[in-house]
A and B are shown apart, each in its own frame.
Chain A
Amino acid sequence: MSDIHFEGVTKVFSRGGRPFTAIDGIDFHVADKQFISVVGPSGCGKTTLMRMVAGLDHPTAGSVAVAGREVTGPGPERAVVFQQFALFPWKTVYDNITFGMRSKGASRAERDEAVAYYLKLMKMEGTEDSYPHQLSGGMQQRVAIARSYAIDPGVLLMDEPFGALDAQTRTIMQEELVRLARVNPRTVLFITHSVEEAVYLADRVIVMGRNPGRIREVIDVAQTRDAEAWADHPIDDVMEMPSFTHLRGQVWRLLREEMGSDR
């Protein structure tokens, strides 16, 4: 059971000596094994919200609780896939993927097995001894995702993980993520700038607004997705289905309102 409970979560930064409210009183509940996409204009506090779940930042007021326990610091049960990949340049693919597993005391055999499993799943066989700089951006991102998946975290936090990828690789990664999520479902907070991506991947989409950062609306996708059996179609086809374009339009309109709200 790894649900996330936001209770009156407020984050005030000091910016140039003045207080700045980045997040203003967010109340929200993410059920166990639910996939949540978060979209919102730049600077609305998406990363800040995620960092508070990770325990890398702390709420000024209110609390974040995961699996019923208040978050006080970082831990492997809340793994993060960072936007900039954040692979260890001095570690091979093998050692990067198994970094977190070693924290949990996994044996050599378990680690070998996990690396073989993820590299096969991500079509990266034979790269275990490569260093990150020898990989393409897309490959590095896959390794970063495998590193987090491999420790089987209760909560997976992903901050624009595909932002640096070209459109083609991105599509492949989205399908891979859906496949991974189906094989091994877990609670996910997925931040993105792409409305398509948000709707395609999520059970629910959170649209955030800014000044101050807050939740503008929550849109349910799971019901439509299951009813229309998106999972049985390739991603390109899904994105042309009326059920998909309807939801996408709904998210888009909200987002546009938020973006125009103080310009």
Chain B
Amino acid sequence: MVATTESSSAGRRRLRLPRQLLIGLATVVVMLAIWYMLTTSLGVIDPNRFPSPGQFFAALEQMMTTGYAGGNLIDHLLRSLVLVVSGFLVAVAVGVPLGFVMGYDKRAEAFFNPIFLLLRPIPPLAWIPLAIVWLGITDASKMLVIFVSAFVPSVINTFTGVRNVNRTLVEAAQVHGATRGRLIREVYVPDALPLIFTGLRLSLQAAWTTLVAAELVGAFLGLGRVLSTAYRDINTAMILLAMVVIAIAGALTTQALGIVERRLIKWRTGP
């Protein structure tokens, strides 16, 4: 009985997927067609302002072969990816435990919250000058800025998740003899997990946003470097290409996070 419920809902989801995919594909095709018409066949848009599909794919080809702005697509993408992922991971590794302790223990909250309230309103990008003064135009300074931006959402959401833990479940664990260790591992963590992942998603988005800004300031490789070089060359095709790559890379990393989340939170009712 239980098994049927599960498989039928999964079946429904599987049925719905192709139609969603079709609609998505149709949207892309229509957009491409409009794009082609406006820039190429009708010529309404000046290619110096917005590239045609032909220019775009030429830029992609150049990027894949000879390269642009000091490297090819893989070089730029890899460098940016390493920065985003490492900045994100460090932020999470520090932010989630900190948020957890603050949510669990009122004294820890009293201690950390003033610092946090003071630092929080500062836009992450405002850290760039200081980061450069401290660490120069290096990967370390970019990582620092990414870390600062990704740190905040992890802390806040973990804190909220732990602070609003289901009290009845905590009591249920206590009256069935749970030690403090089990209480944390088997009640607090799983109960806060959905919100922790919300924090991680926001942190990841913040990391990508900050990366581009940090790389715009100065970098030898990376997608931000491609953007700033293409801007100086007034190469709109390259600008668009970098933007598309950032969008896809951002979406893929978010997807990867989603897969981890579904693995860990398999008890959830909804999809």
Contact = CB atoms under 8 A, between A and B. Distances in A.
A55 B177 CA distance: 12
A130 B259 CA distance: 22
Contact of B175 (A80, A84, A104, A130): A80
A54 B177 CA distance: 12
Nearest to A86: B172
Label chain B's interface by main secondary structure.
Answer: helix
B233 interface: no
A88 B186 contact: yes
Interface stretch (A13-21, A71-79, A111-119, A164-172): A71-79
B31 to A, nearest CB: 40
A56 B168 CA distance: 10
Nearest to B171: A56
A134 B186 contact: no
A8 B172 CA distance: 27
Contact of B172 (A78, A80, A151): A80
B215 to A, nearest CB: 40
Interface string A104-144: 10000000000000000000001100110111000000000
A89 B171 contact: no
Interface string B84-95: 000000000000
A91 B182 CA distance: 13
A99 interface: yes
Label chain A's interface by main secondary structure.
Answer: loop
Contacts of B6: 134
Interface string B174-197: 111111001000110011010000
Contact of B178 (A56, A91, A103): A103
A82 B172 contact: yes
A79 B178 contact: no
A73 B193 CA distance: 28
B8 interface: no
Contact of B267 (A74, A82, A90): A90
B175 A78 contact: yes
A147 interface: yes
Most buried by A among B173, B193, B265: B173
A89 B265 CA distance: 10
Contact of A133 (B178, B186, B269): B269
A154 interface: no
A35 to B, nearest CB: 19
Most buried by A among B5, B172, B173: B172
B267 A79 contact: no
A84 B176 contact: no
Contact of B187 (A88, A126, A127, A135): A88
A74 B5 CA distance: 37
A79 B169 CA distance: 13
A56 B169 CA distance: 12
B172 A134 contact: no
Given A86-B168, A88-B186, A148 B2 contact: no
A100 interface: yes
B177 A100 contact: yes
B176 A100 contact: yes
Given A88-B169, A134-B5, A103 B186 contact: no
A228 B187 CA distance: 47
B174 A131 contact: no
A54 B267 CA distance: 29
A76 B175 contact: yes
A103 B175 contact: no
A79 B176 contact: yes
Interface in B246-271: 265, 267, 269
Contacts of A103: 176-179, 182
Contacts of B169: 86, 88
A133 B267 contact: yes
B177 A76 contact: yes
Given A86-B168, A99-B178, A103-B179, 9 more contacts: A56-B171, A56-B174, A78-B175, A99-B176, A100-B177, A126-B2, A127-B2, A130-B2, A147-B176
> Which 9 residue pairs are nearest across A and B when measured between Cβ atoms?
A103-B177, A76-B177, A100-B176, A86-B172, A74-B174, A90-B190, A80-B175, A90-B267, A130-B2
11 contacts: A55-B175, A56-B174, A86-B171, A88-B186, A89-B267, A91-B186, A103-B177, A104-B177, A126-B2, A135-B2, A147-B176
